[in-house]
Amino acid sequence: MREILYRHALREAFDEELTRDENVVIMGEEVAQYNGAYKVTEGLWEKWGDKRIVDTPISEAGFIGMGIGASMLGIRPVMELMFWSFHSVAFDQLVNNAANVRYMSGGKCHCPIVVRGPANGGTNVGATHSHTPEGLFAAFPGLKVVSPATPADAKGLMKTAIRDNDPVYVMESTLLYGMSGPVPDPADGDFTIPLGVADIKREGTDVTLVAHGQSVLKALDAAEILAEKHGISAEVVDLRSIRPLDQDAIINSVKKTNRAVMVDESKPFCGVSAQIITLIQEHAFDYLDAPVKRVTTLDAPAIYAPAIEDEQLPTANKIVDKVLSITPAKV
């Protein structure tokens, strides 16, 4: 299978959906002539023109609101936020409006909008540009939230998100845009990944690591260390979709391994990991041989200094230490 970059997988998804459906448009700051802040939309404006690839003013409240209104009239907008940290500027539109359109119209109106962009730390851009708000948006009924960790997942989930009739918020990572990985060739058929289906990125028997987004890569690195140095077989469950959430995949894995560690770049208080721990407690408590643990970002604003921010985030070594606190080493 061919390998392409994460950003190219997203671009390929956009190009295919622009071709498939004339109602798909891409809007955001610098997405057209400038090719996107992270070059995700590079080349699309030259191919599709001003009516399909639309640069917007620096006004998230304005262009997100415009996208929501357009989606209610049959357009399928893909809206780029340069950083998901800018969500607070358009919070009323993202949460109060988009999430409630279908419910408050009795199902007569839909809001098929995709809002996407980077939501991560680790790039030394300060506290106001380093938010990971996936847990925040997942808390609102009516919204769907996904966080792809690989190029293939980025493409497959994005195509599904664009076709969905509800708002889907895609949390990407600037640290993943330049990562390459296998992605099915368009010549082999239409490639999509359903929302709400997790993926077992690595099979294991001794402990379950549950992660999403770039934390999946940290979990995979930790699983490799655990196997090589400690003889521990770790299973890595990639959520891919946070809401809807694949509860069965999580619970079935924990029932198999009897131990679990959450890996979550979100803040610990009211985070995604806290919700999953509650699910495990409610549905797999009798299968646990040790308390459920988690590795998250430190509960503080993102630190600007590179060396210190690296220590603030989940790392493979932190995950290994947490696993060893509940799992006996075999070597």
Catalytic residues: 60, 129
Name which of 70, 75, 118 is nearest 97 in CA terms: 70
Largest CA distance in the chain: 62
Name which of 274, 269, 279 is nearest 294 in CA terms: 274
Question: For residues 113 and 309, what is the distance between their CA atoms, to the nearest angstrom?
Answer: 33
- DSSP codes joined into one string, 298-328: -SSPPPSSHHHHHHHS--HHHHHHHHHTTS-
- CA dihedral of residues 112, 114, 270, 147 (deg, nearest 10): 130
Structure tokens, 91: 């919070």
Output phi, psi for 186, to 5 deg.
-55, -30
